[in-house]
Structure formats: structure tokens, C-alpha cells
Structure 1
Amino acid sequence: MRLSSTGDHRWHKLHHVLPLAAAALITTSCVSGGGEGGTRDGGGGEGGGSGSSSPNPEGGPLASSIASSTTLGSDLQLDVDSLERHGEDVALLKMTLVNNGEEDVKGTDILRYPSRMDGAPYSASGVSLIDTKNYQRYRPLMREGETNCLCNRWQDDHRRIEAGDSLDFWVAFPAPPEDVTELTVNTTVTPDMPAVPISEAEEVDQDIVDTPVDDPLILDLRSLQDDLDGDSSREESGEETSIMLSSDVLFEVDESKLTSDADAALKEVAEEIDASGAETVRIDGYTDDTGDDSINDPLSEDRAEEVRDRLEEYTERSGLKFETAGHGSSDPVANNDTEEGRQKNRRVTVTFEK
């Protein structure tokens, strides 16, 4: 299964796809361990950042992950110290970056997003929170009118972590809905840390809560899954399901009459529709780019209508509304320069709410 995030949410839409990774910024952080004057207070300095900590009752961090980057090796470790709600709008993540190796690591720029962005302070802007319950990714809050996130930023003397030392930092995010009790912590350099519990802060950090920020950036996540036989695939978000059926299975070449092999697949789709809360089912037909639009456009429409007729027959729920459209070759999902790509583009997609 592949996950991608598409821009869309709470206050505005952002139309692009992002990789599963992201993070944050504000005050001077402290290096602990063998560093000079190091502490593990999670921040401080301008703009607040002391917050309150609800440590793991069993001791140690809530979660840990080892860097998977080939350039960093396995000596860099990220610990989640706490994840707390500060008021209704802010979730505060506190983490520790630990150098377990025998050599110094230039570790304070590896968490940036995008890496080495011109003009931006060194920070943890490559960390994000993933809400698997609602299929959403939370990017760090951005200070109003700035390119800096609401999080620690590191000055020149803290851009390198000495062997055996660690770096504490914090990142502020938009708070998830009240019914979300755990989140996945995602970074640019480590595997995901799933099921990190979020708790209420014992003492709200008012300096962080009161900091003016831009509209929160919350991205919709969509999961993509291809069947092993290549005959179908599906895409899911928190609200709807799209099932993509290969036209090569549903129809003969250049034909719009369903084959006998189509029945089993369409019956399964009909069962999913019956089990969903959908009121409207959208059916879209597509072709590859061979031939011309005068043939492809009506062919894709005819195929969508044929699938609609069969689904109307197989679904048992009353009151369902079916909509169809033919798009010809206008919206490819793969490269038309290869036969494999053209096969993926010849499809009928059935979309409905969960």
C-alpha cells in the first residue's frame, strides 16, 4: 500500500502531492549529554517553549526510531518525549535527537523541509503528524507572515551534535479532533513512529498558544493499493473509495459490451456500495491515447454507462443515484509510452462515499 497526501483542508486547499515526511521551528535549542552546558528542557528562549511534560509512565520516551538515511547510518536516534494538547488549537510535540555514534553528526539540518531551503533557519520543519483515523497529515504551524514554523530553530553553534550528545527540540502543530487519541510521528530521516498517544498538557504553554500563526496546513491522505493481478486498484481517503477496474477485463478491444469476466468484479463492487453510506455513485470511463478523441471519448462514455447499468442491477439499496462521465484519454494515471502504462490508463473508476 502506498500513501500520498493531497492538499486540502480545514481552511484552504493546496493542490499538490507530498511525500510522507515533514517538521518545525522557534527558539535556540539545547544540547545535552556531553555537550557544554547542555540541558534537556525542550526549548525555552524567545516565544516560550518550556511547556509541560507528561513523561511515559513506564519511563523513557513514548517512541523511538533509528535513522534510515544511508548518509547518516544507524547512529542517529529520534525519541518522542511527549505529545500534548495545549488548549483547543495546538498540539505540542517534544523530541530528542540522539547521536549514539563515535563521530560528530551534522544533525540540525537533516530535519528540515525541504532540505537546505535558502534563507530559512535550521529547524525541524521536516516533521509531521499523521492522523490515520481521519486520513490526514498535519504540517507544523507557521508563524504569521513568515517562512518559519512554530518550533525550535538552531543557531550556528548547535548545528552539529557531538558523539554521545543529544538535542532537544519542540514543534507546534494544529490540534487534531478531540476523538483522536494517538498519532503517527513522521520524519524525513526515520521510519514512522505509529500510535504515539496524545494527552492533555498539565500546564498550557500560553506563549506558544498565543503566537500568531498562518492558517493551519492539514493535508488529506489517500491510500493507493494495486491488486497483484493488475486487474484493479483502489484509492481511499477518509471520506470516499475509488475502485479502478481494468477495461481489458471488463470489455473486448474497442467494445463497450461487458464480458462475462466482468460479472464477478462488478458484484464485489456492488456489495461494497451496499455496505457503504453512499447516496451517489460516480462512474468514470477512460482510455489510453491510441486512436483519436472522436473514438475514445464516446467509447469511454459508453463503457461508463454499461458499468452503471450492471451496478444498478447488482446493488440492492434503494435510492442510489448513479452518475457517469467519459473522459477519453484526457486523464492518464500512467505513461502511455509503454504497454503496461496504456493498460493502466484503460479503466473504469467507480467512486462512492464510505
Structure 2
Amino acid sequence: MTENLKVEVVGLNRVKGKHLVAQIRLSNTGTEKHLSWAGEMADRTRPLGEIKWASGIGVLDAQARTWLLPYKPAGSPCLCSDRERDGLGQFINPGQSINVYAVLPAPSGNPATAIVVTPLAPPMLNVPISDEAPAGDFPDPDAEPVTLVNRRLILPAEALDKSEETADDGKDLQVNLSSDVLFAVGKADLTASANSIMARTARLIDASASTTVTVAGHADSSGNDAINEPLSLRRAQAVERALSALLTRSEISFQTQGYGSRRPLYSNDSDEGKRRNRRVTVTFAKPAPATREPVATTPPSVTGLTGTSKAEGQPIAMEIAGLRRLPGGLGLLTYEITNQGSAEARFAELHHAQDWEAYKYQAASNVRVTDVAAGRQYLPGRLEVPTDDGVDSYCACTDVSGIRINTEKFAPSQTREFFNLIALPETPGTLKVKIGPFRELDVPVQ
């Protein structure tokens, strides 16, 4: 995202079978003097005052659905390079390079390769992990108390008919059933339209290993708690009864609760946010993925997947670089945006997502991947960061604010590459991809 700042993994070593030492080379490949690097490598989910650290070096543990970041010792933000302590300075001059490092947990399952993430560019896939000791002197995370720093990756999806939405964290599946579809206004009796929704949810529970299923009723902020709480409980109980009658597995117990409007998923400031908050949430262990048929080893071509738009009178081009399947049901979408005009233009359409989506910073979240045959739409993943007040959500995609506040400005002929992490259906083939204002495209899954 920063022109002429090249990032390369030059070392990825597993230590004691449980830690990783990641070494990154940063190079100034252009002619700009005093190219800043420290803020570019800082973890965007931490306070901006910590930008002098290389705290954004991480690994995506796709199977565990976790974004792993450097350990945090008691006296500093991370076990990683510090531009002042390590004498690296703030800038890199033309033709020069520096090496930075981070010490973090190794991904689960003892894999031979890793997905390396930095704030600078899309994730780097299939980076080999060496079990040899790294060359150099790096801090030992076992020598002092350290705190694990990771971000849970949630993959949302929704039915095209708006009857339900799901959130998958790799361990549990949370199914939010729309109360507007399940019930008449102010009622707790299931409508005829609820039958197919109940049947699909029951099939998912049958396919999981859960012995306990939680069912929670929720309302929006309209009305008052004296009405909302008992109504939300009765609706949850109605869903429990319907699911119990449809399940084929025995020994499944239910935990049912009504929360009224106390646990909104989205802001109640919009009609869409309110609609989504009127829900019955069913949570259970994620079903095992279906076995996919082997597919050809030669990736399908993604050439010619382009679109055009305009920004401030300048022609803006988009080209999809790939839609790649990663482990753990993940997908990686990468695409390029180019200003083909003769003047600078601010292209601000990538973060103009629906109003009910809220992230800590603006990001390239205006992306949808659709499986028309399955009637489902896949939204950008989100990284959850615990806070004193609850949880902050960050898009698992390219930032366009914070440190990257000028990312939406494109000089003439300038190209930037963007990415999104999303869920992908197990069925191989072609999916429809809609990016910002550009035309929808049929994109093969690689």
C-alpha cells in the first residue's frame, strides 16, 4: 500500500516447537528520500502511539481462525523491532534496506508453511517454516512473562432472502434468524415461512458434534424492556420447540434465554440495523466441512476480470488478481485499483459499505461474494479485539484510514493492491464478486 516500500520474508523459524521468529526485509525501491517504515509496520489494532514498533508482523492461523501477533512483554508493546532501541531510525533511503523481526506463537498443527501478514500488503501465502535455529540474537518468550496477542477472525455470511445470517469463528457457528421472517409483529408463533429456515438450521445442528445448543431471543431498541424481554424469550422457546421436533440426533440439550434489546449486534440508528437486531440466535459447534471432490491442480485463469468507474472526473480501473481458497474454509480476494487519468483523484467507494456494518476504522469493506446457487452472500471477515467496554471490530481487509489516511488518494497512473478475507463455500467453481461501484464479475475460485 506504500509505493516503493518492498516487504520480503527472509526468515521464518519455529523455535521450541511453539514459537516463531519472523524476519522481514524492508527496502526503498524508489527515489523518495526519508521513506517512513515504522508506522507502516505497526499493528493497526493497537493505540496509534505505538507506531514505532514492528508490531504488525503476524501469521494467519487459518485452521484455528486466528490472526497471531507478536507476544507482549510487561514493559513494551511487543517482542519485535523498535526503531529507537534497535537503532533502525524512522526512514529508509533510496536503494537501502533494513531488517525487522517479531517473535510470536507458531500456528497450530505444526505446518510446513505459514500465511504471513503485515499491514503493508495482502497476506503472503505458503511461506516455508524452518525448524532450524534462526541466525541472530532474538528475545526468548519463555525467559519472561509475556501475553498472547491474537485476534479472532469471524467470517459472516447471509441468505440472499435476508432470512438469516451466520457468523463462523472456526469453532462455533452462530445463526441469526430474522424475527421479521419467523414471526408476525408482536407475536411468538412461527409463521409458515419459518418452516424451511427451521429445517435448514436443524440440518446444521445434526451435522455438528454439539450436545448443547443455545437459543437466544433479541429485539431492537423500539418499545420497552417490559415488552421486549418476555417476547424475546417466548420467541426463543418457539424456535427451540421447532428445532427439537426436527432433529434426528438424540442427547441434545437446549439453553434458552430472552435478552430483549440488551445485546444488539448492530447500531439501532438505522432501519437495517434494527431489522438485523430483531433476531433469534442459535449457536452450536461448527459442523465439519463436507469433503470436496478433487479439482484440477492448474488454477483457472482470472485474466480479463476488470471494471471501470470514475472519481473526481478521472477514470478509475479495477482488476481482480485472484480469489484463492485457503485452509479452514477461508478465501483470499485480491484486486488492484488504478487511476488511469491525468490528475490526482480521491476514490472513496471502497469503504462505502452498508450502514449497519461498523468497524474501528474505514476499510475496503464494500465487497460482496455471492454463491447464487446456494442463495448466500459472503461478507468481509472481521477481526475482533477485546476492549474494556466489549469488543472492537476491524475489517479483515485493507485499511483506508488510520495510518493509511491517504490511501484513497491516487496519483495519475498509480496502482494499489487491496485484499479481503472471506468465507468460501466448499463447492468449487465460480462465484460472483462485486467490488464497490464496479460491475459484478464471475470469478473462478483458485
TM interval, short-chain normalised = 0.7 to 0.9
Counterpart pick for 2:117 among 180, 186, 193: 186
Matched, 1:149 2:78: yes
Match of 1:129 in 2: 59
Counterpart pick for 1:334 among 263, 266, 270: 266
Taking the TM superposition and a 5 Å limit, the aligned residue runs for 1:267-286 are 267-286=199-218
Match of 2:9 in 1: 80
Structure 2 residue runs of 5 or longer lacking an equivalent are 287-446
SS at match of 2:240: helix
Match of 2:153 in 1: 221
Q: Distance in 1 between matches of 2:201 and 2:47?
A: 46
SS at match of 1:176: coil
Match of 1:294 in 2: 226
Match of 1:7 in 2: none
Counterpart pick for 2:245 among 310, 313, 316: 313
Partner AA of 2:91 in structure 1? R
Q: Distance in 1 between matches of 2:200 and 2:164?
A: 12
Q: Distance in 1 between matches of 2:203 and 2:135?
A: 48
Deviation at 1:203, TM superposition (A): 5.8
Task: Between the two structures, name the one with larger relative contact order (CA 8 Å, sep ≥ 6).
Answer: 1
Deviation at 1:205, TM superposition (A): 6.4
Match of 1:243 in 2: 175
Deviation at 1:131, TM superposition (A): 0.5
Match of 1:91 in 2: 20
Q: Distance in 1 between matches of 2:237 and 2:226?
A: 18
Partner AA of 2:75 in structure 1? E
SS at match of 2:232: helix
SS at match of 1:306: helix
Aligned length: 281
Q: Distance in 1 between matches of 2:180 and 2:6?
A: 48
Partner AA of 2:131 in structure 1? E
**Could you tell me the TM-score, scaled by structure 2's length?**
0.59
| 8 Å Cα contact 1:86-1:205 kept in structure 2 | no
| 8 Å Cα contact 2:61-2:108 kept in structure 1 | no
Structure 2 vs 1, CA of residues 308 and 204 (structure 1 numbering), >3 Å: closer, same or farther?
A: farther
Match of 1:103 in 2: 32
Partner AA of 2:81 in structure 1? N
Structure 2 vs 1, CA of residues 107 and 121 (structure 1 numbering), >3 Å: closer, same or farther?
A: closer
Taking the TM superposition and a 5 Å limit, the aligned residue runs for 1:188-203 are 188-202=119-133
Deviations 1:278-325 (A, max 9, x none): 001111111112111111111111111111111111110011111211
Match of 2:377 in 1: none
| 8 Å Cα contact 1:132-1:183 kept in structure 2 | no
Structure 2 vs 1, CA of residues 108 and 181 (structure 1 numbering), >3 Å: closer, same or farther?
A: same
Structure 2 vs 1, CA of residues 116 and 305 (structure 1 numbering), >3 Å: closer, same or farther?
A: closer
Deviation at 1:228, TM superposition (A): 3.3
Match of 2:165 in 1: 233
Deviation at 1:227, TM superposition (A): 3.1
Q: Distance in 2 between matches of 1:320 and 1:116?
A: 44
| 8 Å Cα contact 1:141-1:213 kept in structure 2 | no
Deviation at 1:93, TM superposition (A): 0.6
Q: Distance in 1 between matches of 2:161 and 2:6?
A: 39
Structure 2 vs 1, CA of residues 263 and 179 (structure 1 numbering), >3 Å: closer, same or farther?
A: farther
Deviations 1:115-140 (A, max 9, x none): 8854x583211222220101122220
Structure 1 residue runs of 5 or longer lacking an equivalent are 1-67
Deviation at 1:206, TM superposition (A): 7.4
Bigger CA radius of gyration: 1
SS at match of 2:147: coil
| 8 Å Cα contact 1:287-1:329 kept in structure 2 | yes
Query: Identical aligned pairs, as a percentage?
Result: 31
Match of 2:90 in 1: 159
Match of 1:174 in 2: 105
- Report which stretch shifted further, 225-234 or 317-326: 225-234
SS at match of 1:97: strand
Q: CA RMSD in A?
A: 2.3
Q: Distance in 1 between matches of 2:113 and 2:180?
A: 42
Partner AA of 1:298 in structure 2? P
Counterpart pick for 1:256 among 179, 183, 188: 188
Match of 1:303 in 2: 235
Partner AA of 1:292 in structure 2? N
Structure 2 vs 1, CA of residues 142 and 332 (structure 1 numbering), >3 Å: closer, same or farther?
A: closer
SS at match of 1:294: helix
